[in-house]
Structure 1
Amino acid sequence: MVALVKGQNAPLAAERIRITIEVDAPAEVSALLVTPAGRVRGDGDFAYHGRPRTDGVAWVQAGPRQELAIDLTAVPADVERVLTVVSLDDRAFGAVPAPSARVFDPNGDEVGSFLIDGLRDERALVAFEVYRRGGVWKFRAVGQGYSGGLAQLVTAHGVVSAPAPRFAASAAQPAPAQRVQPPAQAAPAAPAPGQAWPSSVPPATITPMTIRPPSVPIEETPVGPAGGFGMSAEERMYDVLWKIFEDAARATASLRSATEYAEKRRDTEMSALLDDPRMRNSPHTDQARAEAQRKHDQLVAQATADYKRDVGSLVTELNQLAHQLPAPMAGWDSPSWNSWAPPAEEPAVAIRIGELTVAEAPELKVPMVFRLPMRTPLWIDSSEGRRTEAAALARTLVVRLLAAHPPGQLKVHVADLVGGGAAAQALQPLNPGVLFPAATTPQQLSETLNKLTERVDLIQMAAQADALETLEGSVDSARQLLVLHDFPYGFDDRAVAQLRYLIEEGPAYGVNILFVADPGDASTLGPLVSSLWRSMLRLSAVPDDHIGDPWVGINWTYTPDGASSLPAVNSVLARLASRI
Structure 2
Amino acid sequence: MAAELTRGQNHPLPHNRIEIRISAEVPVTAGATLADDTGLVRDAGRVIHPGAPTLPGVEVSRQAAAEHRLAVDLDALPEAVHRVSVLIALPAAPGGAHRFGAVAAPRAAVTGLDGTEVAGYTLVGLDAETAVVALELYRRQGAWKIRAVGQGYADGLTALLTDQGLPRAAELAGEIEAAVARGAARAVPVPTDGGRTRRTAAPVGGPDPAGSTAAGSPYDVQAPGDATDRPVRSGGPDAALDDVRPAVSGDPAAAPSPGGPVDYTHPRRRRAAPPAPAAGPVPPVAGDAVGWSLDERLYNQVWGMFEDLARSTAAYRSAVDFAESRMEKELDQVLADPRSRLGSAGDGAREAARARHAQLVEQARAVLDRDLAQLTAESEVVEPALPPAYARWDNPVWHAFRVPTEPPMAVRLGDLHLPESEPLRVPLLARLPLERGLWIDSGPVPTSDGGLPDTAELRHLALHTAVLLAARLLAAHPAGEFGVQVIDPAGSGAPALAPLTEAGVLAGPPATGAAGVADVLGRLTERVDLVQMAVRGGAADALPPGLDLSRHLLIVNEFPHGFDDRAVTRLRYLADEGPAVGVHLLLVADREDAAAYGPLLDPLWRSLMRLTPVPDDHLADPWVGHAWTYEPCLVPTGSPVLQEVLRQVAIARTKRL
Q: Smaller-chain TM-score range?
A: 0.5 to 0.7
Cα shift at 1:436: 1.2
1:501 is aligned with what amino acid? Y
State how 1:92-111 maps to structure 2 within 5 Å: none
CA distance in 2, matches of 1:529, 1:463: 29
Q: Which residue is equivalent to 2:640?
A: 567
TM-score (norm 1): 0.59
Q: Which residue is equivalent to 1:369?
A: 429
Q: Is it true that 1:331 corresponds to 2:392 in the alignment?
A: yes
The DSSP-based 3-state class of the residue aligned with 1:369 is strand
Q: Which residue is equivalent to 1:533?
A: 605
The DSSP-based 3-state class of the residue aligned with 2:501 is coil
Counterparts in 2 of 1:254 and 1:350: CA distance versus 1, 3 Å: same
1:365 is aligned with what amino acid? R
The DSSP-based 3-state class of the residue aligned with 1:483 is strand
CA distance in 1, matches of 2:418, 2:327: 26
1:532 is aligned with what amino acid? L
8 Å CA contact 1:414, 1:484 repeated in 2? yes
8 Å CA contact 1:350, 1:369 repeated in 2? yes
Counterparts in 2 of 1:230 and 1:425: CA distance versus 1, 3 Å: closer
The DSSP-based 3-state class of the residue aligned with 1:531 is helix
Q: Is it true that 1:289 corresponds to 2:362 in the alignment?
A: no
Q: Is it true that 1:240 corresponds to 2:313 in the alignment?
A: no
The DSSP-based 3-state class of the residue aligned with 2:578 is helix
Q: Which residue is equivalent to 1:522?
A: 594
Cα shift at 1:242: 0.3
Q: Which residue is equivalent to 2:401?
A: 340
Q: Which residue is equivalent to 1:352?
A: 412
1:577 is aligned with what amino acid? A
8 Å CA contact 2:389, 2:476 repeated in 1? yes
Q: Which residue is equivalent to 2:483?
A: 411
CA distance in 1, matches of 2:373, 2:399: 29
CA distance in 1, matches of 2:538, 2:473: 30
CA distance in 1, matches of 2:478, 2:652: 10
Q: Is it true that 1:497 corresponds to 2:569 in the alignment?
A: yes
Counterparts in 2 of 1:289 and 1:420: CA distance versus 1, 3 Å: closer
8 Å CA contact 2:635, 2:642 repeated in 1? no
Q: Give CA deviations for 1:47-89 in whole Å, capped at 9, x if unaligned.
A: xxxxxxxxxxxxxxxxxxxxxxxxxxxxxx9xxxxxxxxxxxx
CA distance in 2, matches of 1:239, 1:579: 30
CA distance in 1, matches of 2:493, 2:623: 42
The DSSP-based 3-state class of the residue aligned with 2:413 is strand
Q: Is it true that 1:381 corresponds to 2:454 in the alignment?
A: no
8 Å CA contact 1:415, 1:421 repeated in 2? no
The DSSP-based 3-state class of the residue aligned with 1:408 is coil
TM-score (norm 2): 0.52
Cα shift at 1:332: 0.9
Q: Which residue is equivalent to 1:139?
A: none
Tell me the percent identity.
Answer: 45
Cα shift at 1:535: 0.6
8 Å CA contact 1:378, 1:538 repeated in 2? yes
CA distance in 2, matches of 1:284, 1:561: 57
8 Å CA contact 1:420, 1:440 repeated in 2? no
Q: Which residue is equivalent to 1:261?
A: 322
Q: Which residue is equivalent to 1:270?
A: 331
Counterparts in 2 of 1:391 and 1:530: CA distance versus 1, 3 Å: same
Any gaps of 5 or more consecutive residues in structure 2? 1-124, 126-280, 284-288, 445-454
CA distance in 2, matches of 1:230, 1:472: 39
Cα shift at 1:361: 1.2
8 Å CA contact 1:549, 1:556 repeated in 2? yes
Counterparts in 2 of 1:453 and 1:501: CA distance versus 1, 3 Å: same
Counterparts in 2 of 1:420 and 1:276: CA distance versus 1, 3 Å: closer
CA distance in 1, matches of 2:326, 2:381: 40
CA distance in 2, matches of 1:279, 1:450: 79
**Count of equivalent residues:** 355
Selected match of 1:309 from 352, 370, 386: 370
The DSSP-based 3-state class of the residue aligned with 1:427 is helix
Selected match of 1:427 from 477, 496, 500: 500
Selected match of 1:488 from 554, 560, 572: 560
The DSSP-based 3-state class of the residue aligned with 1:486 is strand
Q: Give CA deviations for 1:437-484 in whole Å, capped at 9, x if unaligned.
A: 211011111010010000010000011110112227332120011100
Q: Which moved more, 1:420-429 or 1:499-508?
A: 420-429
The DSSP-based 3-state class of the residue aligned with 1:485 is strand
CA distance in 2, matches of 1:454, 1:472: 12
Q: Which residue is equivalent to 2:313?
A: 252
Q: Give CA deviations for 1:477-501 in whole Å, capped at 9, x if unaligned.
A: 2001110000001111111111111
State how 1:446-465 maps to structure 2 within 5 Å: 446-465=518-537
8 Å CA contact 1:545, 1:556 repeated in 2? yes
CA distance in 1, matches of 2:342, 2:399: 73
Counterparts in 2 of 1:330 and 1:363: CA distance versus 1, 3 Å: same
CA distance in 1, matches of 2:373, 2:322: 24
Selected match of 1:576 from 617, 625, 649: 649
1:260 is aligned with what amino acid? D
Q: Is it true that 1:394 corresponds to 2:473 in the alignment?
A: no
Q: Which residue is equivalent to 1:150?
A: none
| Higher-RCO chain (CA-CA 8 Å, sequence separation at least 6) | 1
1:572 is aligned with what amino acid? V
The DSSP-based 3-state class of the residue aligned with 2:385 is coil
Q: Which residue is equivalent to 2:50?
A: none
Counterparts in 2 of 1:316 and 1:493: CA distance versus 1, 3 Å: same
The DSSP-based 3-state class of the residue aligned with 1:484 is strand
The DSSP-based 3-state class of the residue aligned with 1:351 is strand
8 Å CA contact 1:421, 1:439 repeated in 2? no
1:335 is aligned with what amino acid? P
Q: Which residue is equivalent to 1:548?
A: 620
Counterparts in 2 of 1:564 and 1:229: CA distance versus 1, 3 Å: closer
State how 1:207-226 maps to structure 2 within 5 Å: none
CA distance in 1, matches of 2:499, 2:620: 32
8 Å CA contact 1:421, 1:438 repeated in 2? no
Counterparts in 2 of 1:333 and 1:246: CA distance versus 1, 3 Å: same
8 Å CA contact 2:394, 2:635 repeated in 1? no
Any gaps of 5 or more consecutive residues in structure 1? 1-76, 78-133, 137-227
CA distance in 2, matches of 1:268, 1:512: 54
CA distance in 2, matches of 1:554, 1:509: 33
Cα shift at 1:249: 0.8
2:325 is aligned with what amino acid? K
Rg larger for: 2
Selected match of 1:468 from 526, 537, 540: 540
CA distance in 2, matches of 1:430, 1:135: 46
How large is the RMSD of aligned CA atoms in angstroms? 2.0
CA distance in 1, matches of 2:342, 2:587: 66
8 Å CA contact 2:399, 2:641 repeated in 1? no
8 Å CA contact 2:383, 2:391 repeated in 1? yes
8 Å CA contact 1:429, 1:574 repeated in 2? no
Q: Which residue is equivalent to 2:163?
A: none
CA distance in 2, matches of 1:537, 1:523: 19
